[in-house]
Amino acid sequence: MADAVTPNDAIAAIRATGGAQPGYRALHAKGTLYRGTFTATAEAASLSRAAHLSGEPVETLVRFSNGSGNPRQRDGLPHVRGMALKFSLPDGSTTDVSAQTARVFTSSTPEGFVELLNALRPSISTPIRLTKYLAGHRGLFKSVRANGAVTRIPASYATLEYHALHAFRWVDASGGARFVRYHLVPEAGEQFLALRDGLRRDADFLTDELNERLRDQPVRFQYRVQIAGPDDSTVDPSQPWQSTQTVTAGHLDITGLDTAREHGDDIVVFDPMRVTDGIEPSDDPVLRFRTRAYSESVKLRTGVERGAEAPQL
Ligand code: HEM
C-alpha cells in the first residue's frame, strides 16, 4: 500500500499539473457564484431530519466551475465541471454539497489520486509515466468509460448532470438510517456540443451562456438521492452503485448571479464534510481528506487559515 499522503503533497501534485495558483482555488479555479432556492419534497423529509429537507424553501449559494486548476482554462475543452451548493439553514448555519460531472472518482484513496496527478505532471516523460500508471491501474479504463461526460464539451452548465460521489448516512426523525449518494439532474436534460463547435466557442462561453439563460427564467435542477443497495460500497467513491432506488429529494431553482459574496475578506468554501444534524459523513477516506486539502487551498488563495470555518473532523 502507498504511504499516506498529506494535504501538502496533494497541493504540490496539483501545482505540478498547473493548478494551485496563488489567489485561486487549487482546483476548480475558474467559477462563478449564483443564488437560488431549494425546496425539498415530502419524501426527503421522511429520509432525513436535516433542516433544509423539511420542505420550507431555503436560500442556496451555488458555484459552477471548470475543474481545472488553471484560472484561465478555456471552457470549450473537455474537462470535469463542478457544481457546489451551500444551503442556508434556519439556525444561521450552512450545509454543503460538492458535485462534479464524473460519475465515479478516479481512485478509492487520496494516495491514489496524488499518484494519478504525479503521473499526469506535464514533461517530456509524461507519456511513459502515464502508460506505466495505466498498466498498473486497469480499473481506470472502466472509470473513463463511466465518466463519458468529462470527455465532452457541454452546451451549458445547465445541461449537465453532477454527482457528489461519496456516501452520506441520512438519519430520519425516528433514528432510522440509510446511506445515499447525491445527483443533480438538469431539468433541461443533458446536452453537449460537437467537439468542433465547442473548440470554436469563446473562452468563457459557459458562464456567459448561463448568465444569458438566467435573464429569461430560473434554471432548475432536481436533487436526487440514490439509496445504497446491500452490495454498494459506502467507502469507495471509485465504485459505481448498482442500486436503482432513487428518490427526488427536492428542486433547486437558480435565479441569478450572486453579487454579495467573495468581496474583501469574505471566504466561501464548499466543503462536503460540512454536514448538519440528520446527515453523517461516511468513512470514505477521500471524503475525509478533502477538508484538509481544501484548508491548504484556502490558505494559498486567501493567505489566512480557515480556523473555525472548517468542519471539525
Ligand atoms: C483526494 C481527492 C481530492 C482532492 C485532493 C481535491 C482537491 C480540491 C481542492 C484543493 C479544491 C479547491 C478548494 C478551495 O479552495 O475551496 C477543490 C475544489 C473542488 N473539488 Fe475537489 N478534491 C478531491 C476530490 C473531489 C471529489 C471526489 C469531488 C466530487 C465530488 C470534488 C469536487 C470539487 C469541486 C466541485 C470543487 C469546487 C468547489 C467550489 O466551487 O468552490 N473534489 N478540490
pLDDT tens by residue, 45-71: 999 999 999 999 999 999 999 999 999
Residue 229 lies in a domain: yes
- pLDDT tier at 2 (50, 70, 90 boundaries)? low
pLDDT of residue 146: 78
Instruction: Examine the pLDDT at 134 and tell me if it is beyond 90.
Output: no
Residue 105 lies in a domain: yes
pLDDT of residue 287: 98
Q: State how many domains the chain has.
A: 1
Residue 1 lies in a domain: no
Cβ of 173: how many Cβ atoms within 10 Å? 10
In one-letter notation, the amino acid at residue 96 is D
pLDDT of residue 136: 87
pLDDT of residue 147: 82
Element (H, E) at 130: helix 126-136
**What is the C-alpha to C-alpha distance for residues 43 and 55, in angstroms, rounded to an integer?**
9
Smallest Cα–Cα separation from 76: which of 21, 149, 130, 153? 153
Residue 2 lies in a domain: no
Smallest Cα–Cα separation from 209: which of 182, 188, 183? 188
Q: Which three cell numbers stand for residue 190?
A: 443533458
Average pLDDT over residues 184-203: 96
For 143, the domain range is 7-309
Atom of ligand 1 nearest to the CA of 31: 40
Catalytic residue among 28, 79, 163, 183: 28
Atom of ligand 1 nearest to the CA of 286: 1
Share of the chain above pLDDT 70, in %: 99
Mutating to test ligand 1, I would choose from 294, 298, 304, 306 the residue with most ligand atoms within 8 A of its C-beta, which is 294
Instruction: Examine the pLDDT at 253 and tell me if it is beyond 70.
Output: yes
Average pLDDT over residues 160-164: 98
Residue 95 lies in a domain: yes
Instruction: Examine the pLDDT at 114 and tell me if it is beyond 70.
Output: yes
pLDDT of residue 149: 87
pLDDT of residue 138: 80
Smallest Cα–Cα separation from 37: which of 308, 201, 251? 251
Average pLDDT over residues 281-307: 96
Residue nearest to atom 25 of ligand 1 (CA): 290
- pLDDT tier at 143 (50, 70, 90 boundaries)? confident
Q: Look up 28 and say whether it is catalytic.
A: yes
Average pLDDT over residues 38-47: 98
Residue 30 lies in a domain: yes
- pLDDT tier at 312 (50, 70, 90 boundaries)? confident
Instruction: Examine the pLDDT at 4 and tell me if it is beyond 70.
Output: yes
Q: Which three cell numbers stand for residue 287?
A: 471524503
- pLDDT tier at 3 (50, 70, 90 boundaries)? low
Tell me the average pLDDT of the chain: 95
The CATH number linked to 225 is: 2.40.180.10
Residue nearest to atom 27 of ligand 1 (CA): 105
pLDDT of residue 135: 87
Average pLDDT over residues 121-129: 91
The pocket around ligand 1, CB under 6 angstroms, is made up of 10, 25-28, 31, 63, 65, 82, 84, 98-100, 105, 110, 113, 164-165, 237, 269-270, 286, 289-290, 293-294, 297-298, 301
Torsion of CA 207, 293, 242, 160, to 10 degrees: 0
Atom of ligand 1 nearest to the CA of 294: 13
Residue nearest to atom 36 of ligand 1 (CA): 28
- Comparing 28 with 1, the larger pLDDT belongs to 28
Residue 114 lies in a domain: yes
Residue 206 lies in a domain: yes
